[in-house]
């Protein structure tokens, strides 16, 4: 608290008593205007007016009026994910060199595994960046959460640079992965996966080009926390088809199998017994991963996404300065995403947990 003392002053003669009047001194307590209070203070629409939207030309800004720079930056960010994908593919082909040449399941596994590995890595990196952005923008003034303006509260622009860099990384991955989905269609995904990538690419271009919806971008990326579990489930199912002993070892270490093989088991056990063990381990691991996935999906795709959408709808006037076309498109995508998340979660509740399904008719 800042203590301000009002200095005693002497007034002119009183008109009735002809005596001089001395003002009493008092302390006035004013809260300090720190950086935190400056950021958390919500600007009054009536008192200060709506901040004017301005253009920020930073190192990672997306400029749709410069096609050459746009294409060059997109290529660089796509290569950020493509180069590791190629290296992972090389490692898998070298690991399964003896069996890949013959074709079959091993060759298909080596061809598709790099995409699922990069999906896992991308989801972890992007969701962590999303949580960081959410923390940094949590106490921003309400207008700063939705667009860059002439009263921006963060003079360093560090968080804004991180947001724009993250958007490019996200955009680059979606473009690169979409190319692989189309080339290997339908092994990596069908029409719904193509639509999913196209929608998010459009969202990245609209939000990045207009430098808007900064805070919603954070909780949208946080929803990627559930994606690594989908990649794990794919590996479990695929390795089960390859009769991989790794599944039994992992399931045993996690105490997910009710029975384990004896240490001195016959090394020449028949293939049927080995397959049964791999399938049993895969079933136990997949059940554990699926339950975890349902929980994480509920937290990030239902609770966090729902709360973020409610916040965006509540303060709809705060993003009125965003160009109407981009604003309408992004809001439509967010609303459609909320409906799709609710639909998917309902299917999970019915199929995985067995709740809400149709009851059997009594005879």
Predicted confidence at residue 320, as pLDDT, reads 95
Nearest one of 109, 111, 95, 158 to 132, comparing CA atoms: 158
What angle do the packed helices 271-297 and 245-253 form, to 10 degrees? 60
Judged against a pLDDT cut of 60, whether residue 313 lies above it is answered with yes
CA angle at residue 298 from 356 to 248, to 5 degrees?
90
Mean pLDDT of the chain: 83
Highest mean pLDDT among 43-47, 99-103, 306-310, 343-347 belongs to: 306-310
Taking only the tens place, the pLDDT of each residue in 104-142 is 788 888 889 999 999 999 999 999 999 999 999 999 999
The answer for residues whose C-beta is within 8 angstroms of residue 110's C-beta and 6 or more apart is 89, 92, 93, 95, 96, 100
d(CA 304, CA 145): 16
Handedness of CA 273, 275, 277, 280 (dihedral sign): negative
Judged against a pLDDT cut of 90, whether residue 273 lies above it is answered with no
d(CA 132, CA 354): 36
Judged against a pLDDT cut of 70, whether residue 241 lies above it is answered with yes
Predicted confidence at residue 246, as pLDDT, reads 84
For residues 41-59, give the mean pLDDT.
Answer: 72
Judged against a pLDDT cut of 80, whether residue 280 lies above it is answered with yes
Handedness of CA 161, 164, 167, 171 (dihedral sign): negative
Predicted confidence at residue 353, as pLDDT, reads 67
Q: Which residue has the higher pLDDT, 63 or 262?
A: 63
The answer for residues whose C-beta is within 8 angstroms of residue 296's C-beta and 6 or more apart is 225, 226, 229
Taking only the tens place, the pLDDT of each residue in 154-209 is 888 999 999 999 999 999 999 999 999 999 999 999 998 999 999 999 999 999 99
Q: Which residue has the higher pLDDT, 72 or 349?
A: 72
Q: For residue 48, name the pLDDT band (cuts at 50, 70, 90).
A: low
Residue corresponding to tokens 């960046």: 129
Judged against a pLDDT cut of 50, whether residue 323 lies above it is answered with yes
Judged against a pLDDT cut of 80, whether residue 214 lies above it is answered with yes
Judged against a pLDDT cut of 70, whether residue 211 lies above it is answered with yes
């Amino acid at each position: 608290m800042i203590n301000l003392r009002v200095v005693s002053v002497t007034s002119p003669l009183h008109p009735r008593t002809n005596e001089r009047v001395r003002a009493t001194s008092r302390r006035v307590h004013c809260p300090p205007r720190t950086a935190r209070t400056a950021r958390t203070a919500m600007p009054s629409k009536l008192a200060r007016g709506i901040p004017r939207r301005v253009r920020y030309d930073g190192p990672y800004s997306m400029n749709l009026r410069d096609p050459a720079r746009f294409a060059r930056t997109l290529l660089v960010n796509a290569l950020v994910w493509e180069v590791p994908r190629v290296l992972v593919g090389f490692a898998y082909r070298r690991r399964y060199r003896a069996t890949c040449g013959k074709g079959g399941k091993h060759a298909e596994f080596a061809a598709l595994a790099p995409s699922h590995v990069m999906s896992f890595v991308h989801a972890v990196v992007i969701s962590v960046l999303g949580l960081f952005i959410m923390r940094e923008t949590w106490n921003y003034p309400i207008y700063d959460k939705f667009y860059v303006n002439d009263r921006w509260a963060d003079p360093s622009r560090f968080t804004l640079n991180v947001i724009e860099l993250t958007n490019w990384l996200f955009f680059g991955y979606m473009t690169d992965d979409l190319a692989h989905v189309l080339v290997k269609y339908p092994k990596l995904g069908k029409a719904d996966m193509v639509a999913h990538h196209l929608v998010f690419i459009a969202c990245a271009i609209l939000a990045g080009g207009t430098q808007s919806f900064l805070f919603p971008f954070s909780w949208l990326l946080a929803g990627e926390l559930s994606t690594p579990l989908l990649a794990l489930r794919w590996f479990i199912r695929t390795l089960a088809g390859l009769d991989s002993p790794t599944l039994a070892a992992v399931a045993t270490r996690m105490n997910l199998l009710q029975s384990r093989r004896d240490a001195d088991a016959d090394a020449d056990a028949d293939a049927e017994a080995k397959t049964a063990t791999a399938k049993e381990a895969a079933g136990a691991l997949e059940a554990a991963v699926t339950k975890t996935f349902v929980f994480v999906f509920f937290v990030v795709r239902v609770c966090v996404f729902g709360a973020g959408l409610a916040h965006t709808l509540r303060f709809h006037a705060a993003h009125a300065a965003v160009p109407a076309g981009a604003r309408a498109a992004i809001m439509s995508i967010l609303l459609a995403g909320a409906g799709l998340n609710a639909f998917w979660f309902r299917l999970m509740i019915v199929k995985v947990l067995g709740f809400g399904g149709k009851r059997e008719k009594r005879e």
